[in-house]
């Protein structure tokens, strides 16, 4: 049976290519277009995927963490990013970080994020971040991979299973974007009205001593 990646059906991303360098470059050339509002918009791009998963499953949870180095992370309890085995027995992860989301990127009228801006996909977050680490836990295994400005700099590396499923996306926006951020903690509190199936917790570790807060 032919199980090559070229024969896999594309729904949200093109399985035939792991990295679209031209796509990533076009995003990096126009950060004001693809990340208006800086890290807040990037955070919304990540949360939209967690909200999609929660909606499909009839409910879900995620934890948003603000880190002292200016990075952010989103950990959800979904099924994990789709992975498949190719004809050589290698694990292939859906290329959500380094290629365009076929549903949104060329169709800005398709969906708006809570900031009123078009949803473009996770590749925007990866392309406009100094680094991004994507850890993926599924029932059949767990892997992690690091990207720099959207380009993978490590292979898909196995991590020890812990009995959970879901994704962890930890990213540090590019320097200029970090200076354009809004007060994100308060805005997270209002997202329950937009994504009622997603319960969001916030953990602010930026030196304020503020404990983890339940958003919904």
pLDDT digits (tens, 9 = 90+) for 164-179: 999 999 999 998 887 6
Check pLDDT > 50 for residue 119.
yes
Element of type H or E holding 135? strand 129-138
Task: Give pTM, 2 decimals.
Answer: 0.87
Residue 20 binned pLDDT confidence (cut-offs 50, 70, 90): very high
Report, in angstroms and rounded to the nearest whole number, the Rg of the chain calculated over CA atoms: 17
**Average pLDDT, rounded, for the chain:** 87
Residue percentage of the chain with pLDDT more than 90: 62
Contact 125, 45 (CB under 8 A): yes
Give phi and psi for 157, each to the nearest 5.
Answer: -105, 125
Residue 92 tokens read as 């292939």
Contact 84, 169 (CB under 8 A): no
Positive or negative CA dihedral for 150, 61, 178, 187?
Answer: positive
| pLDDT for 215 | 41
Report the SS3 class of residue 28.
Answer: helix
Q: CB under 8 Å to 107, separation ≥6 — which residues?
A: none
Q: Are strands 151-152 and 141-148 parallel, antiparallel or unpaired?
A: antiparallel
| pLDDT for 71 | 94
Longest CA–CA span in the chain (Å) reads 57
């Amino acid at each position: 049976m032919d199980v090559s990646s070229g024969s896999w059906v594309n729904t949200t991303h093109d399985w035939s290519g792991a990295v679209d360098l031209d796509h990533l470059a076009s995003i990096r050339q126009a950060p004001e277009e693809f990340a208006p509002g800086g890290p807040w918009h990037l955070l919304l791009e990540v949360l939209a995927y967690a909200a999609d998963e929660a909606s499909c499953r009839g409910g879900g949870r995620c934890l948003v963490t603000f880190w002292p180095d200016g990075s952010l992370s989103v950990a959800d309890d979904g099924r994990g990013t789709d992975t498949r085995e190719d004809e050589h027995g290698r694990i292939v992860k859906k290329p959500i970080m380094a290629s365009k989301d076929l549903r949104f990127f060329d169709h800005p009228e398709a969906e708006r994020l809570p900031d009123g801006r078009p949803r473009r996909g996770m590749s925007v977050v990866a392309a406009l971040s100094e680094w991004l680490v994507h850890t993926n836990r599924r029932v059949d295994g767990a892997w992690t991979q690091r990207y720099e400005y959207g380009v993978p700099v490590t292979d898909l590396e196995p991590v020890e299973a812990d009995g959970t499923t879901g994704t962890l996306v930890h990213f540090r926006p590019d320097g200029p974007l970090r200076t354009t951020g809004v007060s994100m903690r308060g805005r997270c509190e209002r997202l329950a009205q937009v994504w009622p199936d997603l319960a969001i917790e916030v953990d602010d570790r930026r030196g304020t001593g503020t404990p983890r807060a339940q958003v919904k």
